[in-house]
Amino acid sequence: MVQANSEPLSLADYERAAQAVLGERARSYIGGGATDAITLADNQAAWSRLALAPRVFTGVAEPDPSVTVLGSRLPHPLIIAPTAFAALTHPDAEPGIARAAAATATTICLSTLASTGPAALARAVPDCRRWFQLYVFSDRGVTGELIAAAEAHGYDALVLTADRPVLGIREAELRHAVRGGEPAADGAVGGAAPADFSARIDPGVTWADVERLAAQTRLPLIVKGILTASDARRALASGAAGVVVSNHGGRQLDTTLSGADALPAVADAVGDELDVLVDGGIRRGTDVVKALALGARAVMIGRPVLWGLGVAGSDGARRVIEILLAELQNALALTGVARAAELDGSVLAPAPWARR
């Protein structure tokens, strides 16, 4: 008799498995989108509206997935997006995600609102390549402390989130009164409900602050949450080294452009001067290929890592990344492209199904 394989094989399998094991609070916190969740759904749909135009007989047996980001060669273009309060999902929390990152040579971007602070994470998993995501607090002393901690503990970049001056309206979260759980070991902000941070994150940050931050730190500054060419140019003028084209996973302002649809104009405007990254709805290796073909140097992955963490702790997070990496290799080989870094618009074609 043939035995059915019940192991999750795809990120979608992990999503289903996570729905089954996570409690309502964690499910609504991770899964939620702003108001009608139109952008949340479109983030994923937009990648499937692009068709691939593969080349055959290119002799590519083993494609090289490596890319260059901030002047460093990375073995592949996957970066773990900053997500707050991983302890809500599984006790392995951010150290578990960081172990998964280290095992797969993936960079982890630690959230300011993580359940583990930057110093504690670095001590727990010293061998992971790491970036630190920054929110600017009304008390600039707290922001300064976070920057100093990131600089002192081996973080390679600061990722300043731009698209959350105030919290988006997430009804699922409001219904389930999501709280952050245990306080961060050495973070400045642990233990409160996500909504409580509205009072502490400065809603009045301007490009002048970005300029000051870029000048204040020796780390490269990446601005996350850019959706227009003009803002990408402002980031460049303010001293940023990169931008992440992102709508915060559809959790902030609903009915914005998806990452996939906003990326080409940003890459066009600043792609020669800045490292352009993208996130939102990336669930398949083919999505990563399309992101790179549209001008991104790397991609960030948010919810899928949390699904893996929720299902099987650090091992589950690692499996999610391994699955996506295997799919990326497969997609590169079948697209006939030798190097991920060489991907360009020639592998994309108008998708007839997107015009319907």
Ligand X SMILES: Cc1cc2nc3c(=O)[nH]c(=O)nc-3n(C[C@H](O)[C@H](O)[C@H](O)COP(=O)(O)O)c2cc1C
Short-list 298, 273, 296, 338, CA closest to 58: 338
Member of 39, 106, 115, 133 binding ligand X (CB under 6 A): 133
In angstroms, the Cα distances linking 352 to 44, 52, 261, 346, 355 are: 18, 12, 17, 17, 6
**Interface with ligand X (CB under 6 A), residue from 74, 113, 189, 262:** 113
Nearer to ligand X, 234 or 303 (CB): 303
List the x/- string, 162-201, binding to ligand X by CB under 6 A: ----------------------------------------
* Interface with ligand X (CB under 6 A), residue from 67, 136, 243, 282: 282
Between 124 and 167, CB nearer to ligand X: 167
Binding part of the chain for ligand X, among 64-72, 123-131, 145-153, 277-285 by CB under 6 A, reads 277-285
Site for ligand X in 289-308 (CB under 6 A): 300-303
Residue 40, Cβ neighbours under 10 Å: how many? Answer: 25
Of 153 and 170, which CB lies nearer to ligand X in the complex structure? Answer: 170
Tokens matching residue 252: 């902030």
State the residue number with the nearest CB to ligand X: 302
> Do the strands 298-301 and 275-279 form a parallel or antiparallel pair, or are they unpaired?
parallel
With contacts defined by CB under 6 A, name the span among 47-55, 168-176, 248-256, 334-342 that binds ligand X. 248-256
Q: How far is it, in rounded angstroms, from Cα 69 to Cα 27?
A: 33
190 vs 202: CA distance, rounded Å: 17
In the complex with ligand X, the residue whose CB is nearer, 305 or 337, is 305
CA-based nearest residue to 111, from 291, 249, 298, 267: 249
Residue 1: both structure tokens together: 């008799």
118 in contact with ligand X (CB under 6 A): no
- The torsion defined by the Cα of 292, 298, 304 and 310, in degrees rounded to 10, comes to 160
Q: Which of 65, 95, 281, 316 binds ligand X (CB under 6 A)?
A: 281
Sole binder of ligand X in the list 82, 117, 180, 220 (CB under 6 A): 82
Number of CB atoms found within 10 A of residue 55's CB: 12
* Distance of alpha carbon 186 from alpha carbon 341, whole angstroms: 38
Query: Measured from the CB of residue 30, what is the shortest distance to ligand X in angstroms?
Result: 5
116 sits near ligand X (criterion: CB under 6 A) = no
Pick between residue 31 and residue 65 the one whose CB is nearest to ligand X. 31
Smallest distance from the beta carbon of 283 to ligand X, in angstroms? 8
Q: List the interface residues with ligand X, window 42-81 (CB under 6 A).
A: 43, 81
Which residues carry out catalysis? 248
Binding mask 218-247 for ligand X (x = CB under 6 A): ------x---------------------x-
Q: Does position 256 bind ligand X by CB under 6 A?
A: no
Please, which residue, 82 or 242, has the CB nearer to ligand X?
Answer: 82
The least distance separating ligand X from the CB of residue 216, rounded to whole angstroms, comes to: 19
Q: In the complex with ligand X, which residue's Cβ is closer, 78 or 340?
A: 78
Select from 15, 275, 279, 287 the one that contacts ligand X (CB under 6 A).
279
Q: Which among 284, 169, 159, 309 is positioned nearest to 220, based on CA atoms?
A: 159
| Residue 60 Cβ vs ligand X, minimum distance, rounded to whole Å | 28
Interface contacts to ligand X, rule CB under 6 A: 29-30, 43, 81-84, 111, 113, 133, 161, 224, 246, 248-249, 251, 279-282, 300-303
